[in-house]
Chain A
Amino acid sequence: MKKLIASISLGLERELGWTFPPLVVLLGTIPATASVLIVVMIYWVGSSAAGAVDPSWIAFLVVGASLYTHFSSYIWAPISAVSEGKASYTYPLVFIAHSSLTYVTGRVIASFIESSFSAILALGLSTVAIKALLGVEPTLSFTPLSIALFALGMLVGLLAALGLGLMLAAYAIFVTRLEWGLPVYISGILMIFSEAIFPTSALPPPLHAIAESLPFTHIIRAARAALIGPPALYSAEIATASLLSATWFLAGVLVYAYSEGLGRRRGYIDLRVT
Chain B
Amino acid sequence: MQVPAHFEYERATSVDHALALLARWGGEARVVAGGHSLIPMMKLRLARPEALIDINDLTELSYLRLAGDELLLGAMTRHADLLASPLVGEHYPILHDAERVIADPIVRNRGTIGGSLCQADPSEDLSAAFAAIDAVAVIRGPSGARTVPVREFHTGPYETVVGPDELLTEIRVPIRPGGGSAYEKVERRVGDWAVAAAGAAIWLDGESAGGAGQPGIVRDVGIGLTAVGASHFHAAEAEASLRGAPATEENFAEAGRLAGAHCEPAADQRGPVDYKRHLASELTVRALRRAAARARGQEA
Partners in one complex: no
Tell me the A residues contacting B by CB distance below 8 Å: none
B residues within 8 Å of A by Cβ?
Answer: none
